[in-house]
Structure 1
Amino acid sequence: MRASKVVAAIDFGTHGTGFAYTLVTPDNDDPRTRQMVSRYDWPKAPVRGAKTLSAVVVDRDLQPVAWGYEAAELWQLNSPARREDLGLHGYASAFKAALSSRAELRAMARSEGIVDLGSDRTLGRLIPSILRYMRDQTVAALGALDLRLTAEDIRWCLTVPAVWTDAQKLGLRRAAEEAGLGAADTIFVVTEPEAAAVYGILDADKGSARAVSRIGEHRFMVVDCGATTEISAFSGVFDDGKVRLAEIGAGGAGVALGAPDVNRAFRTRLLPRRLSPTLVEHLEREYRDLVSELEGQWEKARPFVAVAPGSGGRPEVVSPVYLDLTRLWPMVPAAVRRRLIEEADGDPRTLMLTAQDTQALLDEVIDPIVRLVRRVCDDLLQEARVGSAPVTAFLVGGFASDDYLHARIQHELGAEARVVRPTDPRLAVLHGAVHLGYNPALVQHVPVPATTPRQQVPARTPRQPESPENRRAVFLSYRRGVSWAMARLVRIDLEQHGFDVFMDVENIDSGRFEPVILTQIESRAHFLLLLEPRSLDRIGNEGDWLHREIAHAIAHGRNVVPLLANGTGMPRAADLPADIATLASFNALTVYHDYFPEAMTKLRGRFLH
């Protein structure tokens, strides 16, 4: 095989996808000074970054019409009739998640129109298409250099989750071959935590040998915070000019929470509460671009909120966030305007989010992440062969850019671990993959004899209980457009306490949805119904699935437990369809945000027995 002139990497992620490349030259042989190029000006992106949204709009033949943020805007801002006129027949985002063996990750995949992410045929079209799009973007960027490259001049490297099997990796290679990246057996595949670990080590103190040797002989973990949070533990050694890694515990640990969950809670819960539910509902229906603009302002401000030690030294958000309401101000009711002006100390056309508002949104997602980091760190410190050697935690991924998340993890680990956030944590996987594609020998996998059993957090695909009397089997029912984030928090808490929780997957079509969902309800002893404002708005509509789930649970004698959140009260029997009117008489549990752990303790101890 002839020598390559370019090494290019594609990081096909759940939330975002991007590329990076470097030229193979003597000047780039030293990884500490290697120059890499990525695209940062993706169309319609709310924040400048190296990735665009993993989203696509397709025509009636499943051929891509637009990608990324541009695709999301094209689909969301056009009515169904206008989409038809434009030849837009389907939309998908986060579709990589559809490949996961973990149910909560598969649930992140979204599709509308003709796109069926449960179909192997559909995924077999979309995945080669997004790789082809990234290949074309890379080639276009290289074209400006006038290198007169051929296909064989580019060595491609792809990233995959640590939990992917050899069969899944082979499938991605074949998709890449179909996309024109070269023969499947010439495409280099690396795991995301492995790439991030290399980037973190080389980035430490500009990648000097001295800095890497300080990490050598230590255990360290890569905390990859993006659309989800995944933690992988390694033993790292710097020996003879090479980084040597051994992964501890196959597959690592993870929680299906990340930055998109914070943004979703901002849009679906905080905005209606601060601007009024009626106004936000109108804006979402008629002016979604204005709501998206507000979300973009929030996303830009969120990583940089001021943080300071609070009670007991725990980091707290101490500065408000100001959002510009100029474009939608004419639609804001007069009474709401007066309140907003007063809250913003007389500043008109401004939505001021207090430090408490911001911290409450962040804590819902960050608290479970911090607990997971704590657990993995404790496991590493308890390894007998490490002794008193410190643990290093590399924070990578887009969410790792948030100062509050960084401060919370640093405070939690204290002196027990060295917390390192690379220069640009968003680039860790992508640029680490380029390093490995340039020199695969940079990492040598060496076996590490474990003195304690390897810990593996199992895939969270729900197991089938043996009988309806399985008292720790729970079905979690919720209105997906309203209670997505809260439902995840409830599920995470219950699973951490040994419960088997099933959350319905929102992109299953009705043909397959019915037997799966109804069977799961029948086979589980407990039926938790999460109710928030607007959860029951469509309960009387024909074909409403929340209605069907509740009715099926009542008809089969499940232990139905309503969970009331964000000020919601129990519905009256007269306001419910006849077949679920008895719901009004069931004992309910109110879940207050500030006392969420206490509510979960009460739920587990009094209601799920």
Structure 2
Amino acid sequence: MNHPGAGPRPPSYTANFQQQQQQQQPPVGRTSPLTQGPARTPPSQMVGGPPPINTGAPVAGYPPPMHMQPGAQPPPGVAGPPGYTGYPPPASAPQPTNTMQPYGRPAAEVEGNSRSKAQLIVGIDFGTTFSGVAFAFATNNEAKEDIITEWPGAGSYTKQKIPTVLYYDQYQKVVGWGPDIADALAPTGYPKPGVQKVEWFKLQLMLSGNTYIDPINLPPLPPGKSEIDVAADYLFKLRQAMRTALQKTLGEVFNREERNIRYYLTVPAIWNDAGKAATRAAAIQAGFLRDENDNRLTLVSEPEAASLFCAKTGLLNLKVHDAILIVDCGGGTVDLIAYEVEDENPFTVAECTAGSGDSCGSTALNRNFSNILRTKIRKMKLPDGSKTAGRVYAKCIMDFENRIKADFRNNGQKWAVDVGIEAEFPEAGIEEGYMTFTNEEILQCFEPVVNRILELVRNQIIAIQAQNRTLQNILVVGGFGASEYLFQQIKLHVPPQFQSKVVRPMDSVAAIVKGAVTAGITERVITHRVARRHYLMATLQPFKEGYHPEAYRVPSLDGKDRCKFTRQIFVQKGQKVKIGEPVKVSFFRQVAPGATLMYEDILYACDEDVCPEYTKDPRIKEVVTLTSDLSRKNLEKDFERMDTPQGTFYRVYFDIYLTLDGSEFSAELVCQGEVMGRCRSRFR
């Protein structure tokens, strides 16, 4: 938020209509009591007059009839002028069916518009360790999802998913990606001199505000490259390969439809708004969209995609009010979401518990194995920088990734890795050119990771039972979900009545990318989500002696003090929010004559169960900036004039609509039926 003197935009605190205070008699010439408003600097000290002031006091009326649009509807709970009849809001603004409840109660939902579907649909599973692309040329809900299996560098081999990896030269040019890495590697199989291998970079898209990921354990990015740059580089290569495959498969149809493709890109359910915004920014930079206003990209949570795929294939046999728990075990994260069936035909579900998860995906196994391997290599007592040690490390890591991790069963088996050296190092477990790992050593890699997953599963089952829902299926999906050891451990450790309900689709690795396409083919299956955080805005409220902090006291144009940094919650944590239907809150601000009618309002979020009272609390984070331009409005003609002994100003009424769309939310500022500002991905 800009401060006076810092730029052309004045402060933009807001107040909402629902917080009613004791009314006072309005002075002559006004239709409602004068509301108090703050000023960061007394009006007499400001160049060009005082800035717009947002108030937090009661509203007993609406602008007088001469300023009200014919038939316009006053704020909820506020009487209109004599003769008012009202009419439905303009089509250009969201159509509310209900209004925000008084402060402290969850926001009510209002009606929204359904989204359109394109014919050519592409699903993208952008994973931490592996990625995939599927598509459908859809003419009806029965369209079939096809997976791209031919990739550059893979030769005659077909792969449903390819490594999420990049190789950069010393000039930060991509010289290898996914399976196409021949130019990046030396004959030894290691990167050429000056070439840097970069992996697990997806996790860096959500480091901001994420408690699940330790950045210390992530491989470094190339110098001068941000996490969005690196993700965009990979997605650009993925897009090139996708275009080649679709041109080969669809021919002229692809050339005709490319500009209209709708993309459905999966993200972990535990990702916050910053992670989703970074993912969208990378997709735009990679060329999937023309610009940030192009609406052809939808972010779909990975568990939602999995549930869509399994529902379509008939794996689930569910009735109304039955619950299903999705356990999506990927490379970087494990996400869990429970859904309740709302309808069988068409199949629709709503979240019945708040999603949960952690960074306990299969890359955590790699980190644990790396620690064990380094301990064994140190027992070789080789000099620092030894090429032999580097060769042993690289070969063991590769074998663990490609063989041991997938085949481990905890059945007492020993694992021998060909490390390609003749010397014997029995103290390190190397004999006859093989390094041996015991069952117990590999179990040490799995146990802490699997135990964390089991804890997450147990907590979700408890939450489902607390909702008095019947849990019919526990669906294990994702690349790590294909681990037989993990699958059997989940079956073994859930309560006995649920052991037979733990299932895994035959195509669990491809379930998410196919489900992403299904999201574009079918009507939306997920109807409601449970908010994982509070969403709120800053307001100004009448200053209460002995209650509000003295440091937050600010003067107002009418001489009465306000408390800044108070907050108005749009959506409460744990509140069930309907997808596509905006939550509306009404506000006003007081504006001095001649002021610039351009504003930046900040939307905040808080992950705490109980949201702190003031937006300056460090537990409340800035999420997105909503920029609005009301300069085409005429203050004198369009808004209510307020004459007071302290001066003249105008009251500007507006509404903010917060809409959940898939895995993202958007915000719009509407003034007198016109959308004056909107935001989606401009996250701070």
Q: TM-score, normalised by structure 1?
A: 0.58
Alpha-carbon contact 2:203-2:332 (below 8 Å) kept: no
Higher relative contact order (CA 8 A, sep 6+): 2
Consecutive unaligned residues in structure 2, runs of 5 or more: 1-114, 532-572, 577-605, 609-684
Shift, 1:195, TM fit: 0.7
What percent of counterpart residues are identical?
A: 21
Shift, 1:405, TM fit: 0.7
Spell out, residue by residue over 1:311-359, the C-alpha distance to the aligned partner (whole angstroms, 9 max, x if none).
xxxxxx114143342x5131444x569x756xxxxxx544443333332
SS of the equivalent of 1:185 reads: coil
Q: 2:413 aligns with which of 299, 316, 320?
A: 320
Alpha-carbon contact 1:5-1:24 (below 8 Å) kept: yes
AA aligned opposite 2:411 = V
Which residue is 1:488 aligned to?
none
Shift, 1:105, TM fit: 2.0
Classify 1:39/1:220 alpha carbon distance in 2 versus 1 (closer, same or farther; 3 Å).
same
Alpha-carbon contact 1:54-1:68 (below 8 Å) kept: yes
Alpha-carbon contact 2:125-2:512 (below 8 Å) kept: yes
Which residue is 2:288 aligned to?
181
Alpha-carbon contact 1:19-1:430 (below 8 Å) kept: yes
Classify 1:22/1:236 alpha carbon distance in 2 versus 1 (closer, same or farther; 3 Å).
same
Q: Distance in 1 between matches of 2:511 and 2:198?
A: 26
Which residue is 2:321 aligned to?
217
Q: Distance in 2 between matches of 1:8 and 1:256?
A: 27
Alpha-carbon contact 1:14-1:96 (below 8 Å) kept: yes
SS of the equivalent of 2:269 reads: coil
Shift, 1:447, TM fit: 7.0
SS of the equivalent of 1:22 reads: strand
Spell out, residue by residue over 1:82-119, the C-alpha distance to the aligned partner (whole angstroms, 9 max, x if none).
644xxx5x654322322322144261543254145xxx
Q: Distance in 2 between matches of 1:114 and 1:447?
A: 39
Classify 1:445/1:255 alpha carbon distance in 2 versus 1 (closer, same or farther; 3 Å).
same
Greater strand percent: which structure? 2
Q: 1:330 aligns with which of 417, 422, 427?
A: 422
Which residue is 2:346 aligned to?
242
Shift, 1:287, TM fit: 6.7
Which residue is 1:294 aligned to?
396
Classify 1:217/1:155 alpha carbon distance in 2 versus 1 (closer, same or farther; 3 Å).
same
Which residue is 2:149 aligned to?
39
1:203-282 alignment to 2 at 5 Å?
207-208=313-314, 211-214=315-318, 216-237=320-341, 239=343, 241-250=345-354, 252-270=355-373, 272-273=375-376, 276-278=379-381
Structure 1 position 432 matched with structure 2 position 515 = yes
Shift, 1:422, TM fit: 1.4
Shift, 1:248, TM fit: 3.2
Q: Distance in 1 between matches of 2:344 and 2:415?
A: 52
Q: 2:471 aligns with which of 365, 390, 410?
A: 390
AA aligned opposite 2:364 = D
Consecutive unaligned residues in structure 1, runs of 5 or more: 117-121, 308-316, 342-347, 461-609
AA aligned opposite 1:297 = D
Q: Distance in 2 between matches of 1:81 and 1:19?
A: 27
Q: 1:152 aligns with which of 259, 262, 267?
A: 259
Alpha-carbon contact 1:92-1:111 (below 8 Å) kept: yes
Structure 1 position 377 matched with structure 2 position 461 = yes
Structure 1 position 110 matched with structure 2 position 219 = yes
Q: 1:95 aligns with which of 196, 201, 210?
A: 201
Shift, 1:419, TM fit: 0.9
Query: Number of matched residues?
Result: 414
Spell out, residue by residue over 1:357-405, the C-alpha distance to the aligned partner (whole angstroms, 9 max, x if none).
332321132122212211221221222x32xx23522111211111111
Spell out, residue by residue over 1:533-572, the C-alpha distance to the aligned partner (whole angstroms, 9 max, x if none).
xxxxxxxxxxxxxxxxxxxxxxxxxxxxxxxxxxxxxxxx
Q: Distance in 2 between matches of 1:138 and 1:53?
A: 15
Structure 1 position 141 matched with structure 2 position 245 = yes
Which residue is 2:22 aligned to?
none
Of 397-406 and 228-237, more deviation after overlay is shown by: 228-237
Spell out, residue by residue over 1:233-254, the C-alpha distance to the aligned partner (whole angstroms, 9 max, x if none).
232327353321212344x212
Shift, 1:218, TM fit: 1.9
Shift, 1:23, TM fit: 3.3
Larger Rg: 2
Which residue is 2:164 aligned to?
54
Q: TM-score, normalised by structure 2?
A: 0.52
Give RMSD over aligned pairs. 4.2
Classify 1:336/1:13 alpha carbon distance in 2 versus 1 (closer, same or farther; 3 Å).
same
AA aligned opposite 1:322 = W
Q: Distance in 1 between matches of 2:174 and 2:229?
A: 10
Shift, 1:160, TM fit: 2.1
Spell out, residue by residue over 1:413-450, the C-alpha distance to the aligned partner (whole angstroms, 9 max, x if none).
143422111112222221110111222x141404799x
Structure 1 position 8 matched with structure 2 position 106 = no
Classify 1:14/1:455 alpha carbon distance in 2 versus 1 (closer, same or farther; 3 Å).
farther
Shift, 1:194, TM fit: 0.9
Alpha-carbon contact 1:42-1:48 (below 8 Å) kept: no
